[in-house]
Structure 1
Amino acid sequence: MRYLTKLFLILLLVPTIMPAQEIIPMTASTEQSQPPRRQKIDGIVATVGDYIILDSDIDKSILEMKSQSRDMPDFSRCEILGKLMEDRLYAHQAIQDSIVVSDAQVRERMSKQIDYMVEQLGDMQKVVEYFRKDSEDDFRTDMFEIVKMGMLTQEMTSKIVDDVQITPEEVRTFFNKIPEADRPIFGAEMEVAQIVIAPKISDADKQAAINRLKEIKKEVQEGASFFGKAVLYTDDKASSSTGGFYKMNRKTQFVKEFKDVAFSLQEGEISEPFETEYGYHIIMVEKIRGQELELRHILISPKVSDQAMKEAREKAMLIKKRIDDKEITFSEAAKMMSDQKETRNNGGVLINPRTQDTRFELTKMDPSLYREVSNLKDNEVSYPVLDEEQGKKTFKLYTVTNRYDEHVADYAKDYTKIKALALKEKQFEAVGKWFDEKIKTTYVKVNGEYRDCKFTNDWMKKI
């Protein structure tokens, strides 16, 4: 698109290091392979609103890109400057629109990134040396600003595209304008169904979990840190490192009971213990921003006895035998006997969380799920699989309900995927329009040799 730099450049320069990325340590040989750099004065090369961009910022971005990809394409300094200017415009406008990112949120995300860097490189000193900083304090100060800029950029981008909707007619128009030879090819997919059997938990064990949460709530009300308690005690491993933090709105994929309690609370209020399929929770709401909540929660899953686990597995095996013997279909068994509400009503069919469709592309399927279903034959039911999610142990039976070979996009069969592509294009157009409008009303200046750059956005405001 005209208004965006190359997609790969955008992804590489997002200042969030993801777990799948790998930092490539600089060795003596790689340092020697770099051409000698001329000494130059670190001057201001561009200004966007209240933000300046230094020549060294471009150097830092190049180093960041090298740290995230072994096979980095060559991007010109002009392309990188264009991306940095986009980030500054997002951040500048986020502040104008009163979008707030708290220092605590920035520190939480920065801590995760630094922990990952240390894990990759060995220790903090190596991280500091790798990013060519004089001290850990200098590195953390610089990192804080980078992370904050990225979070403001993400918040502003979300604000631009969140309200973009698309109609079925727009989806049809989008698909029809793609030349037949250029239509996307979708990889092999499958639909999967499951039956979930949860071991029975005694009333005494349930009450023990409730009592522990009540104790934690009392301790927090007396001055203890909810963050610290969540780190120490929550069974939700996905949020333990951030002190149980989540940001959510009414469309966010949380179970109904959790949403109902969260949206009933005022800022600073802590809920009473309540139950979901994962166990017992307490929630503390930190911020209410319109229809969006920032909250922390602690999950405690009641302990399960060995006898209860044995009985649950035996029940799962009996259900498998009844299906194998044709006494009952998998769908009927799921509706009558599965302990998971979300999939029980539709015969156990799983919804892909990435696409909200029932199909899973094999190359993008969660590895743990792929491992259990990839070798299943048509109509075959797996043996019970022990699964642990957010501290709760269950047994699952899987079956593959449909398979789809790799194929060229078909409007009727692939409507959900085509709709997602059409929506993405419309969101790009909304971002492009936003850039055109904001560049005209924001102070922008490009200095020196960079004035000759051919940017994808009209930063020079040429008429």
Structure 2
Amino acid sequence: MMKKYIHLLGTIVMAICCLQTAIAQGRLVDRVVATVGSSIILQSDIEMQYAQYLAQGEKPNDDMKCYLLQQLVTQKLLSQQAMIDSIEVSEAEVDDNLNRRMQVMVRQAGGKERLEEFLNRSLLQYKEEMRPNISEQLKAQKMQQNIVSAINVTPQEVKAYYTGLNQDSLPYFNTEVEVGEIVINPVLTKEEKEQFKLKAEGYRNQVINGSDFGTVARLYSEDGSAPYGGELGFATRDSYVKEFSAMAFKLKEGEVSPVFETMYGFHFLQVLQRRGEEVNVRHVLIKTKPTSSSLQRAKAKIDSIYDKVEQGRLSFHSAASAYSDNNETKYTGGMIVNEEDRSALIPMDKLDRETFTAIDPLTVGQYSKSFLSKDRTGNQIYKFMYLKSRVAPHKASMEQDFAKIQEAATQDKVNRKLSEWFEARKENTFIDINPDFLTCDELKLWVTKDESIAQK
């Protein structure tokens, strides 16, 4: 009991300091909405995350604030244990996470200026405000992974889980398919690449002749870092493809590289700062794009492969392993994996429209004709599809859906383990939720029954 009051006293002191700072700076006075051990959660913490939620294009929803506060409570518990267990995150991990978040938010807001207007602060200021929370989030994630890392389920446990389900309310699965693909990328000749290289050289010359690197990057770079002036943040050597890494780590601070090529196109970069084994660079990327001649060559190549497979002179799986340019599927014999549960079967309603259109008219064992498509990064490719199997709509069964039931059983075991962990921490940690939030069902879990009654 004394521990709880010591924690509470420390929290009150911290809250007073926060309020005094807010008053001194002429801002709206903040308030404490929850206390978790020696940490407090402020209204501004929730508002900042809610602003990020809205900046991602979501609709206003006050219930989301209840969810965000619950997430912050669990985050505090996990991160406090992470400190006890000496779990750390590096500055590079925090920078990478922040940069990815900013890139998504800039894209969804429709540009850097619009996002800054929405947030009412510069992105640099917002990133610095978010840094402590992101660091804490990453520590909490690592702690949670440690808690459940050893969990696995045996076939007997999967069977017991399935048997324990209400057999009258088992999930109903729509039509599912096993689908393969062979992909051919257009390949440019040295002469065809020259136009893109010259373009990058021209922009580099602007920088060498006195133009601001950041401005050139914002205006002309075709990389997602363009809104940030091409800046990528601190990263280790293995964060980049080898050509980029080799250039970034051999230059001195302030030095501008020559134009060089990677799988993404032609770059030039400038080293901004070194920090131990990490480097912060900014760059300009000019992507190479297929020419009509390179597309014709790719079409001829894939049609040749299609003819061999269709005529039985080469198996689909061997052709995919030998010729496909999609590294995600060539090592699975061309077969596409269900991203949700890593199984071979994919629900038809989860297929993208293009794949659905290609395989829907096929019978099992058939191949679609080759067609022009785009990969995940928007690059043009040619591919053809293979329908290996089609499973009719059915109610879940151990015979047909073992992988799905195993995944559900594993998740159930993970959830129970985490629930047990949080229950134990709740019993030994002072947790106080502002009465304004105790109308949220998800937050009632964090206070004892006596406290809940007293606050009504």
TM-score class, shorter-chain normalisation, is: 0.5 to 0.7
TM superposition shift of 1:202: 1.7
CA distance in 1, matches of 2:400, 2:380: 36
Larger helix fraction of residues: 2
The 5 A counterparts of 1:95-174 are 97-99=87-89, 102=94, 106=98, 109-110=101-102, 112-113=104-105, 116-117=108-109, 127=118, 136-137=120-121, 148=131, 151-152=134-135, 154-163=137-146, 164-165=148-149, 169-170=153-154, 172-174=156-158
TM superposition shift of 1:404: 1.9
CA deviation profile, 1:281-330 (whole Å, cap 9, x unmatched): 8999999999x999988766545442232232233334434544555544
CA deviation profile, 1:359-406 (whole Å, cap 9, x unmatched): 322232334433443444441422322435546432111222221223
Q: Is contact 1:87–1:149 with CA below 8 Å preserved after alignment?
A: no
TM superposition shift of 1:151: 3.2
Aligned partner (choices 160, 170, 180) of residue 176 of structure 1 = 160
Q: Is contact 1:94–1:152 with CA below 8 Å preserved after alignment?
A: no
CA distance in 2, matches of 1:425, 1:246: 38
Aligned partner (choices 32, 36, 39) of residue 44 of structure 1 = 32
CA deviation profile, 1:199-248 (whole Å, cap 9, x unmatched): 342234567878988999999999999987776666566x6667585999
Aligned partner (choices 317, 338, 346) of residue 352 of structure 1 = 338
Deviates more, 1:449-458 or 1:342-351: 449-458
Q: Is contact 1:265–1:285 with CA below 8 Å preserved after alignment?
A: no
CA deviation profile, 1:333-356 (whole Å, cap 9, x unmatched): 434543445534544222334433
> What is the aligned partner in structure 2 of residue 306 from structure 1?
292
TM superposition shift of 1:432: 3.0
> What is the aligned partner in structure 1 of residue 8 from structure 2?
none
Aligned partner (choices 403, 426, 431) of residue 416 of structure 1 = 403
The 5 A counterparts of 1:264-275 are none
Secondary structure in structure 1 of the residue aligned to 2:154: helix
> What is the aligned partner in structure 1 of residue 390 from structure 2?
403
> What is the aligned partner in structure 2 of residue 194 from structure 1?
181
TM superposition shift of 1:173: 0.4
Secondary structure in structure 1 of the residue aligned to 2:422: helix
CA distance in 2, matches of 1:219, 1:117: 30
Aligned pair in 2 of structure 1 residues 334, 445: CA closer, same or farther (>3 Å)? closer
TM superposition shift of 1:124: 7.1
CA distance in 2, matches of 1:440, 1:269: 54
Is residue 73 of structure 2 the alignment partner of residue 85 of structure 1?
yes
The 5 A counterparts of 1:220-239 are none
Equivalent residue letter for 1:396: K
Q: Is contact 1:171–1:422 with CA below 8 Å preserved after alignment?
A: no
Give identity over the alignment, percent.
22
Q: Is contact 1:267–1:286 with CA below 8 Å preserved after alignment?
A: no
Q: Is contact 1:109–1:147 with CA below 8 Å preserved after alignment?
A: no
Aligned pair in 2 of structure 1 residues 62, 331: CA closer, same or farther (>3 Å)? closer
Equivalent residue letter for 1:151: I
Aligned pair in 2 of structure 1 residues 448, 233: CA closer, same or farther (>3 Å)? closer
TM superposition shift of 1:49: 4.4
Is residue 374 of structure 2 the alignment partner of residue 382 of structure 1?
no
TM superposition shift of 1:194: 1.6
CA distance in 2, matches of 1:397, 1:54: 54
Aligned pair in 2 of structure 1 residues 418, 241: CA closer, same or farther (>3 Å)? farther
Aligned pair in 2 of structure 1 residues 171, 209: CA closer, same or farther (>3 Å)? farther
Aligned pair in 2 of structure 1 residues 194, 64: CA closer, same or farther (>3 Å)? closer
Aligned pair in 2 of structure 1 residues 114, 301: CA closer, same or farther (>3 Å)? closer
The 5 A counterparts of 1:435-454 are 435-436=422-423, 438-439=425-426, 442-446=429-433
If the length of structure 1 is used for normalisation, what is the TM-score? 0.60
CA distance in 1, matches of 2:279, 2:69: 35
If the length of structure 2 is used for normalisation, what is the TM-score? 0.61
TM superposition shift of 1:357: 3.0
Equivalent residue letter for 1:52: I
Secondary structure in structure 2 of the residue aligned to 1:348: coil
Larger-gyration structure (1/2):
2
CA distance in 1, matches of 2:289, 2:339: 28
Deviates more, 1:162-171 or 1:205-214: 205-214
The 5 A counterparts of 1:289-328 are 301-325=287-311, 327-328=313-314
- Unaligned runs of 5+ residues in structure 1 are 1-40, 129-135
> What is the aligned partner in structure 1 of residue 414 from structure 2?
427
Q: Is contact 1:233–1:298 with CA below 8 Å preserved after alignment?
A: yes
